[in-house]
Amino acid sequence: MILIKLTLVAAVAAAVLTATYGVTQEQLDKLAAEAGGPDKQLLEMGVVPDATKYKAVSGGEICYEAYDGGDLIGYGAMFEVQGMQDMLTLAVGVDPDFVVTGVVVVSQKETPGIGSKVQEQPEFVAQFAGVGPDGLTLSSDGGEIDAISGASVSSGYVTAGVAEIVGKMQEEVS
Amino acid sequence: MANKSFVGEIIRGIIKDNPVFVLVLGLCPTLAVSTSFANALGMALAFTFVMLGSNIFVSLLRKQIPADVRIPIFILIICTFVTMIDMMLEAFLPPMYDALGIFVPLIVVNCIVIGRAEAYANRNPVLPSIADGIGISIGFAAALMLIGSIREILGTGGLKLVMLNVVDGVPGFYPLSAIPGLSFIPEVIKFPIEPAVVMITPPGAFLTIATLMLLFKIMGDRKRVKQLIKEGYEL
Amino acid sequence: MTDALIPALMPTENIFPIFVEAMFTKNFLLVMFLGLCSYVGLTTNSDTSKGMSMAVTFVMTMSAILTWPIYYYLLSDASFLGNDLTFLKTICFILVIAAFVQLVEFIIRKFSPPLYRSLGIYLPLISTNCAVLGVVLLNIQEGYTYGASILYAFGAGLGYSWVMLATAAVREKLIMRDVQLFSGFIGAFFAAMMAALIVASYFAVVKL
Q: Min CA distance, A47 vs chain C (Å)?
A: 26
**What's the domain count of chain B?**
1
Question: Among all residues of chain B, which has the CA nearest to that of C29?
Answer: B28
C32-78 pLDDT per residue, tens:
888 887 887 788 788 888 888 988 999 999 999 999 999 988 888 77
Q: Indicate the range of A145-159, B12-26, B79-93 predicted with least confidence.
A: B12-26
Supply the pLDDT for residue C208: 44
Residue B66: per-residue pLDDT: 86
A15 and A46 assigned to the same domain: no
**Taking CB atoms and an 8 Å limit, are A27 and B92 in contact across chains?**
yes
Residues of chain B in Cβ contact (below 8 Å) with chain C: 24-29, 31-32, 71-72, 75-76, 79-80, 82-83, 86-87, 90, 102, 105-106, 108-111, 114, 198, 201-207, 209-210, 213-214, 217
Tell me: do A124 and A54 sit in the same domain.
Answer: yes
C-alpha distance from B22 to closest chain C C-alpha (Å) = 9
Residues A81-110 pLDDT 10s: 887 767 788 889 898 888 999 898 888 877
- Would residue C2 count as lying in a domain? no
Which range marks the domain in which residue C140 is found? 25-206
In this structure, is the dihedral angle defined by the CA atoms of residues C27, C103, C148 and C71, taken in order, positive or negative? negative
Helix, strand or coil for residue A109? coil
Q: What is the pLDDT of residues A13-37, one digit of tens each?
A: 888 988 888 888 888 888 888 777 7
Q: Residue A79's closest CA among A154, A158, A173?
A: A158
Cβ-defined contacts of A60-68 (< 8 Å, 24+): A60/A172, A60/A173, A61/A168, A61/A172, A62/A38, A62/A165, A62/A168, A62/A169, A62/A172, A63/A168, A63/A169, A63/A172, A63/A173, A64/A38, A64/A39, A66/A42, A66/A93
Q: What is the pLDDT of residue C3?
A: 43
Chain A contact residues (CB < 8 Å to C): 13-14, 17, 21, 84, 111, 153
Q: Range of B169's domain? A: 6-230
Taking CA–CA distances from C21, the nearest residue in chain A reads A85
Q: Is residue B235 part of a domain?
A: no
The per-residue pLDDT for range B190-209, each reduced to its tens digit, is 888 877 777 877 778 888 88
A60 and A136 housed in the same domain: yes
| Contact assignment for C91 to A13 by CB distance below 8 Å | yes
Q: Are A100 and A57 in a shared domain?
A: yes
- pLDDT single digits (tens) B76-86: 899 999 999 99
Q: Is the pLDDT of residue C2 over 50?
A: no
Residue C189 contacts A, CB cutoff 8 Å: no
Checking if the pLDDT of A59 tops 80, the result is no
CB contact under 8 A, A112 and B64: no
Contact B207, B199 (CB under 8 A): yes
Nearest residue in B to A29, CA atom: B91
CB contact under 8 A, C98 and B71: yes
Q: Pick the residue from chain A with its C-alpha nearest to C1.
A: A28
Instruction: Return the exposure string of B78-94: e unless at least 16 CB atoms fall within 10 Å of the residue's CB, then b.
Output: bbbbbbbbbbbbbbbbe
The residue type found at A137 is T
For residue A138, give its domain range: 38-173
Classify residue C7 by its DSSP letter. Answer: P
Tell whether C9 is covered by a domain: no
Closest by Cα among B116, B136, B108 to B48:
B136
- CB-CB: which of A17, A111, A153 is closest to C87? A17
Average pLDDT over residues B112-121: 88
Q: Considering chain C, what percentage of its residues have pLDDT values greater than 70? A: 81
- In chain A, what is the greatest distance between 2 CA atoms, to the nearest angstrom? 74
In this model, does residue B60 exceed pLDDT 50?
A: yes
Domain identity same for A92 and A17:
no
Q: How many domains does chain C have?
A: 1
In a shared domain, residues A42 and A5 = no
Residues 6+ apart with CB under 8 A from B151: B34, B35, B36, B199, B200, B204, B205, B208
Q: What is the rounded average pLDDT of the residues B124-134? A: 91
Q: Answer yes or no: pTM beyond 0.95.
A: no
B55 pLDDT band, cuts 50/70/90, is very high
C88 at interface of A, judged by CB pairs closer than 8 A? yes
Q: What is the largest CA-CA distance in chain B?
A: 64
Same domain (yes/no): A26, A43:
no
Chain A residue nearest residue C26, CA to CA: A85
Number of domains in chain A: 2
Q: Does residue C20 belong to any structural domain of this protein?
A: no
Mutation to test the C interface, candidates A3, A16, A17, A80, most C Cβ within 10 Å: A17
Number of Cβ pairs closer than 8 Å across B and C? 107
